[in-house]
Structure 1
Amino acid sequence: MSTTIGLRERRRLEVLRDLNDAAVTLTEKAGFGDATIDLIAERAGVSRRTFFNYYASKEDAVLGVVPPTVSEQVLAVYDSDDGDRFSRTVRLIVSIIHSTLVDGVAVAQRRALIAQYPQLRERMSQHMAAAEALAETVLGERAAALGAPAEPPGVLAMLASAVLRHAYSRDPHALESADSPAIEASIAAFRDAIRELA
């Protein structure tokens, strides 16, 4: 049975990448406006309906992004992590953001397209906001289970998101790993800044 799941997942990733490749190629050749969903689906060898089984929009296909998720494995890592809540929250959000990014899509290519097309920047911002909201929900559920107040998870999620924006601005590869040196440096910088304000 695990082989079937493995094959399904491989096929899913293959179709996601094929659609992304088609969307990027058409966008680079004809421009974002002329790279229609029908042309993207045709180039990838799938139907329009199949396109929407994999991507919610043309923007998502060009970016190679899907809605954020939190796996049981990510939750187990969060719960067993012996770091402080702030660092754990940053790593949780990195994992959630990572769940939105289709494997095999070049970071530099995605970044160049975002710089060229404002609508892609806006869509990526929407995905980041969805990841932050999901993290806040997870943190709120974890806090409620422990009888903790609901406000700190929201504050932690917002602060962790600011740390990640800071890390990403210095290293576009920062979000590829929760243990990225750029993320660790940004956590330290934010801690120092908050200490100075206190």
Structure 2
Amino acid sequence: MAGEDRARNDDGQYADRIPPEAVLEVFDERDDLARPLTAGDVMAAVDCSRRTAHNKLETLVERGRLKTRKVGARSRVWWVPMERASSQPSPDDDSATDGRPLAVANAIREAKLPGSGPTLEARREALSAAYDYLAAHPEAKKADFLRDVYHEHPAGYESPESWWNAIQPALKGLPGVDPPAERGHLWHFLGGD
């Protein structure tokens, strides 16, 4: 039987091989981010049973990461909630850029980070926190970011290493950031304009 090969936890129960985050990745990887998904879409993407797909989706609804609604007598769809965009900030409006120069705020907003909806917003906040950290500590090492920024801004990443793998390339592209040279360790802050 296939189930006999599955890992078990310390209590002898089958270990959960599909974390809810794997289901969120299915939403993040869609070509059309506005299209809701069905349990069948999730089943196909993560190779699980309908019951497992429903359980993971409902867990994410309970956590506020997804929304759901019935669309027929026996059908349901799920989607990543998106906040309604407010009017675009004017170039002179510092409140819309958290007091940062517009170029920095725009670079953070446009940075290539994985995810959508709340996940993407959390990752932008983590990038912003890493930028602020470097501005306050104009010479910093990777270990400094992991020690002082990751734990307060994990952005959905379960390990500091996976967090760094996403944040570090985006941080390199922000104005005033001088990344380490190849084989170097020190990040430098040159200014935010």
Q: Is TM > 0.5 for Structure 1 vs Structure 2?
A: no
Higher RCO (C-alpha 8 Å, min separation 6): 1
TM-score by length of 1: 0.30
- Structure with the largest fraction of helix: 1
Larger Rg: 2
